[in-house]
Structure 1
Amino acid sequence: QVTEGKQDLERASQLARKLKKETSFLSEWLAATEAELVQKSTSESFLADLDLEIAWAKNVLRELERRKVDLNGITESSTALQTLVEGSETSLEEKLCILNAGWSRVRTWTEDWCNTLLNHQSQLEIFDENVAHISTWLYQAEALLDEIEKKPVSKKEETVKRLTSELDDVSLRVDNVRDQAIILMNGRGVSCRELVEPKLS
């Protein structure tokens, strides 16, 4: 019985060291990732390379899934240690609860950050498409107006009517682009302003 008790004690000691090491490793990674998320989400410079930021967020989400396996292993080790060491339940459960909360928090924040980035990317793409549409129309309208002098009167009137009718649609699109630009520039600070403003001229 003494030998059995000694073996249990050794096993508990090994399990406690393993648990401490794994918990520490995961806690440090979660804290570092959380700090980086906070830094990224409060910085205005993320627009410098939106694709890179999206890739980073997606990579963190993949890493979180991988580390979920580590978290499950820690949970199993904790359960095993609780059976070996009487009275350790409260302390171990508390540590597990904190670790699970940290994992969930980082996951939620990363998902939110990734969605924010993807949404911003989508808004920029729509903005760029609208700017391109307006630019194309202006170029084509200018070409038609340059050619108008060479046309007979009936064709001139037809061209002017066509451009006038298209102008309503384009005016509406210009208003939408202006509104989009204001939202984009106000929502993401200086770096977004530097990205959007030149496209308005």
Structure 2
Amino acid sequence: MSNEDRKERGPEEEPQAEEKVQEPQGSPGDPASVEEPAPAEVVGEEPPSPEEPASEDELAQLREELETIRRERDEYLNALRRLKAEFENSRKRMERETQRIREAAAERLVAELLPVLDNLDRALEAEGDIREGVRATRDQLTDVLAREGLTPIASDGQHFDPSVHEAVMSQPSEEHEEGTIIQTFERGYMFNGRPIRPAKVVVAT
């Protein structure tokens, strides 16, 4: 195409751009796009009134109940104090009674041992062989202690009993069965049925 033809036709028209129509945000079915109506105000409703104060009769009844509770509390406390005082007095009486019994028992035992002491003094003052006097004094002392509950533990010829015997050594023996006590080194004693000192013995093997 020549330049003249271009001039006659004039400049070519530029195609117009299509205008885009902006769609509203959200679709008609979208709940976010629907505005919620404001809550309707309740007309004619009055705010709740404060509680009415207690009447004089109710206050008087509460005071009476409180006074009753206080009286019961005082009664319980007084009863508890009395029980505590009675318990303390009873404990002190028992302690005094126990001490009195101990002193009386010791006094009686000492009084019974005084004749034994007298006989030992006489044996020491006697001339010649004093073995008979010492033997008699020993028998007298044994009788006093037996009345108090002291008894010797049998040992010679008995079968060894670890609850009342203490083996200090063992010795082979053809005359005795194994476990038989053949000699006593130190006599054992029981007091009121309870061993207070085991007998020290030699046991046959």
Task: Judge same fold: TM > 0.5, yes or no.
Answer: no
Higher helix share: 1
Give the structure-1-normalised TM-score.
0.35
